[in-house]
Amino acid sequence: DDPHENTGISIQHSRVRAAPEFEAVKGRFKSYLGRPWKKYARTVFLKTDLDGLIDPRGWTEWRGDFALSTLYYGEFMNTGAGAGDSRRVNWPGFHLLHGENEASPFTVSRFIQGDSWIPITGVPFLAGV
């Protein structure tokens, strides 16, 4: 529960879709990008294809207003039926990122310093936005 701890989840250039066996019933359930189960939760989706299974609010509460002002949830240039941001939550900790300058702290290069260690693994990756 340290606000200065450099941790979190960054999902970039990915696809969020229902599993094939869930596709036929996905409309019966609400699905979200995340919920704050820790005081300083941090999750960002960058240029990700979000399927229509994502609820228009995008995010949901854990317990009442717990952590809604201390979390950091962000979205940047997502696409797909679940990416519409006009009905997203209106929490102090939720951010629609505007421009690469706001999104770049959450890239492979800056968030996990991936430029220095991923190339030797042979795993393909995109360093920036």
How confident is the model over 106-122, as pLDDT tens digits?
A: 999 999 999 999 999 99
pLDDT number for residue 3 = 80
Residue whose token pair is 């209106």: 90
How confident is the model over 66-104, as pLDDT tens digits?
A: 999 999 999 999 999 999 999 999 999 999 999 999 999
- Mark residue 6 as left, alpha or beta (left: phi above 0; alpha: psi -120 to 50; beta: remaining): beta
Which residues contact residue 17 at a Cβ distance below 8 angstroms, ignoring those fewer than 6 apart?
49, 51, 53
Q: What band does 61 get if pLDDT is binned at 50, 70 and 90?
A: very high
pLDDT number for residue 99 = 96
| Cβ atoms 21, 51 nearer than 8 A | no
Residue whose token pair is 């701890």: 5
